[in-house]
Amino acid sequence: INLKFNYSMDASRVRSVLEDSIGSVKGTLKDPVCRIGIGELEHDRYTISLQVWVDAHGYQDTRFLLQEKIMNDLKTAGVIAAS
């Protein structure tokens, strides 16, 4: 999953919200540990990339749930993605 943010958005705050979101979705695995990092720097924004391990059975359902959870949690936290 790749998410883009303006440089005015604090990356550590984004990471914190993402870690909480990932940890709360059923079907995401704790081991191996998920990876969250800045995947790309552009002139007006940066991209945070996530690598999350999930059970093979139910992958698509977990993916959809995780993406919805991330979107809702970012909104609730006032974290706004770049347009």
What pLDDT was estimated at residue 82?
77
- pTM of the full predicted structure? 0.90
The per-residue pLDDT for range 11-45, each reduced to its tens digit, is: 999 999 999 999 999 999 999 999 999 999 999 99
* Structure tokens that stand for 53 in this block: 């391990």
Conformational region of residue 56, where left means phi above 0, alpha means psi within -120 to 50, and beta covers everything else: alpha
Residue ranges of E strands in the chain = 2-6, 35-41, 45-51
What pLDDT was estimated at residue 47?
97
What pLDDT was estimated at residue 6?
94
Phi and psi for 41 in degrees, rounded to 5?
-115, 125
What pLDDT was estimated at residue 80?
85
